[in-house]
Structure 1
Amino acid sequence: MTMEKDVFLKVMSLKEVSQHTSPGDYWIVLFNKIYDVSEFIKEHPGGFDIILEYVGRDASLAFLGSGHSHDAFLLLENYCIGIIPKHERIPSLNQKIYDC
């Protein structure tokens, strides 16, 4: 996702993200952005359970640690619905690994 698109993302708190943990309403945070993975969770190549473990919270380190491909980073753009407010962001995760 480009910086220009980031300007238009809705800012939502981690508290709000934490309220989206019900079947059909799964949100996660990756690299300070919020993703609605409600549909994708059914088709995740690594299985439903691994994403389910992180719904409602930040999954950035798990995502990085699992060795996702560049294509996985690009796929994220389809599910991005918001961004974490600046005061709640993890500074080291503001740097992009890939230019998505």
Structure 2
Amino acid sequence: MLIRIVRMTFKPEEVDNFLALFEATKEKIRGFEGCCHLELWKDYNEPNIFTTYSHWENEDALNKYRHSELFKAVWANTKSKFADKPVAFSSKKEMEVG
């Protein structure tokens, strides 16, 4: 399982537009082959910072999504709303304490 985290800082005036875009595309992203989980997080203190948290079957599945027409369209629309460069990384769960 690959966990993908993308932290994005938006221009304050673009937050509602981003949220509308996410609402319109979330089911397509979550339904993409290899996507097992999708969440959108909002920063606790900064209302224009959001993070996507997703689980993918493996790196190949994520790469298929990243090279898809869906991703290209969504990402082009999303990045036009940024106030700062996004931070993205992939991880895997090492352990869970619970």
Q: State TM-score, norm by structure 1.
A: 0.37
Which protein, 1 or 2, shows the higher relative CO under an 8 Å CA cutoff with sep ≥ 6? Answer: 2
Higher strand share: 2
Q: Which has the larger radius of gyration?
A: 2
| TM-score, L = length of structure 2 | 0.38
